[in-house]
Amino acid sequence: MVATGGIADTVTGDLRLIPDIEVLAVSSRALEKAQAFAAKHEIPRAYGDYRELIADPDIDVVYIATSHPQHHAVARAALEGGKHVLVEKPATLSLADTQDLVDLARERGLFLLEGLWTRFNPLVVKLQQLIADGELGDVRSLHSHFGFALEGALGHRLWDRQQGGGALVDLGLYPVQYAHLFLGAPDTVVAHGSFRNGVDAEVNLLLGYADGRSAHLSTSLVSTLDNNVVIIGSAGRAELFAPLYNPPKLVVNGKEYLYDDQVGEGYGLQAQEVSARIRAGETESPSLTPAESLAIQRTISAAAEQIGLNYDDVPK
C-alpha cells in the first residue's frame, strides 16, 4: 500500500476482509503517518519511502493510492522492481505516461491494472451480459453525468491543480469509461468546459461514432448532476442508478436488479480479480485491459486538449 490518504484507508479496510489477501506493508513520505496507518489496520510493516516498500522481497503486488501526479513515477518504480501493480484511477495524467507503464509491464511480464473498481460492480457486469444477449437490441446512445457542488470546499484536492485536481480526469473518467464499455472507442470527441480556481470545473462531451451512435457525457465540480447512466437501444432502455461509480440498482426494460450484498465498501471485488489473475499467471484483466485504459485515456486527452487542459507543468 503506497500512501495513507482517504482512498488508501477505505481500500485497506476492504482488503482486510478478503481471506487470501494480506496487506503486508504501507509506505508514506512521513514515516509517522505510515506507522499510524499500520497500527490502525494491523499492518506488520511501515516504510517512510515507497522505494523501501518496493524493495521488500515479500511483497507481490503494489497498490498505489498517491496523488494523481505521482502515479506514473511510483508505478514505474514498482514495475522496475518486479512487482505487479494496481494503480488508482487515473493511471496517469497523460497518454504518454500511461503508454509507458503499459509497455513496461508487458516487457517485464507483470500484471498491471488501473483501479477502475466500477468495472467489477456486479450490476455493471450483469448489464454487459444482458446487452450481449440482445435485451436492448442495437445500442444507439448513452447518457452519463457525474458531478456535485464543491464550491464551498476550495481546500479539497479536486480544486488543487498540483494534486491533479479538476473534473475531467477524476470524475469525468467514469462517464467516459461507460461510453467505452458499451459503445467502444469513439470516432470523434467534442468537448466544452470552463475553469475556476485554476482547474477544469465542468466539462461536457459529445462522443460520436461513424455509424451514428453517440454518447452524451458531463462532469462538474460546481453543480450536482444525475450521477447515473442511461443506455438506449433499438429494443429498450437500461439505467444504472446513482452513484454511477458503484451502482446499487439496475433497471432494464422495467425489470429491476439490485446489488444488495456488497461486502465492505465494494473494493474487494477488484482486489479479488487482481489476486485471481496473478495466481493464474496472467498479466491483465479482461474486465479492464491495459489497451482499454489507453483507449479511455486517449478520449480524455482529446477532450482535455480541446478545453485547454494539461498537466505538463505539474510536478510529478
- List, for residues 274-296, the tens digit of each pLDDT value: 999 999 999 999 999 999 999 99
Mean pLDDT across 34-50: 98
Question: 44 and 142: one domain?
Answer: no
Give the number of other Cβ atoms within 10 Å of residue 212's Cβ: 8
Return d(Cα 236, Cα 136) in angstroms, integer: 5
Question: 218 and 101: one domain?
Answer: no
- The pLDDT value recorded for residue 153 is 82
Q: Which of 94, 79, 59, 125 is nearest to 288 (CA)?
A: 125
pLDDT in tens, 77-93: 999 999 999 999 999 99
Q: Residue holding cell 468495472? A: 119
Residue 313 lies in a domain: no
Question: 235 and 125: one domain?
Answer: yes
Q: Please, what sign has the CA dihedral across residues 297, 298, 299, 302?
A: positive
Residue 13 lies in a domain: yes
Q: Whole-model pTM?
A: 0.97
* Residue 252 clears pLDDT 90, i.e. is over it: yes
Burial class (CB in 10 A: 0-12, 13-18, 19+), 109: exposed
* Residue 235, all three cell numbers: 429494443
* Residue 152 clears pLDDT 80, i.e. is over it: no
Mean pLDDT of the chain: 97
* Residue 147, all three cell numbers: 458531478
Question: 201 and 296: one domain?
Answer: yes
Of 70, 88, 116, which residue sits at a domain end?
A: 116
Of 116, 150, 183, which residue sits at a domain end?
A: 116
Ranges assigned E (strand) in the chain: 25-27, 45-47, 61-64, 84-88, 112-115, 139-147, 188-196, 199-208, 214-220, 228-233, 236-240, 249-252, 255-258
Residues sharing a CB contact under 8 Å with residue 195, sequence separation 6 or more, in sequence order: 201, 308
Number of domains in the chain: 2
Question: 130 and 261: one domain?
Answer: yes
Positions marked active-site: 89
* Residue 56 clears pLDDT 80, i.e. is over it: yes
- The pLDDT value recorded for residue 294 is 98
Return d(Cα 290, Cα 206) in angstroms, integer: 24
**DSSP letters for 262-289:** --TTSTHHHHHHHHHHHHTT-SSBTTB-
- Check residue 115 and report its DSSP letter: E
Of 116, 150, 173, which residue sits at a domain end?
A: 116
- The pLDDT value recorded for residue 313 is 86
Question: 110 and 130: one domain?
Answer: no
The CATH number linked to 50 is: 3.40.50.720
- The pLDDT value recorded for residue 257 is 98
Question: 105 and 142: one domain?
Answer: no
Q: Residue holding cell 479536486? A: 158
pLDDT in tens, 162-221: 999 999 999 999 999 999 999 999 999 999 999 998 999 999 999 999 999 999 999 999
pLDDT in tens, 3-32: 999 999 999 999 999 999 999 999 999 999
Question: 110 and 126: one domain?
Answer: no
Return d(Cα 253, Cα 94) in angstroms, integer: 39
Return d(Cα 33, Cα 10) in angstroms, integer: 16
Question: 189 and 243: one domain?
Answer: yes
The CATH number linked to 143 is: 3.30.360.10
Residue 216 lies in a domain: yes
Range of the domain at 180: 119-307
Question: 153 and 236: one domain?
Answer: yes
pLDDT in tens, 255-265: 999 999 999 99
pLDDT in tens, 97-122: 999 999 999 999 999 999 999 999 99
Question: 156 and 280: one domain?
Answer: yes
Question: 132 and 46: one domain?
Answer: no
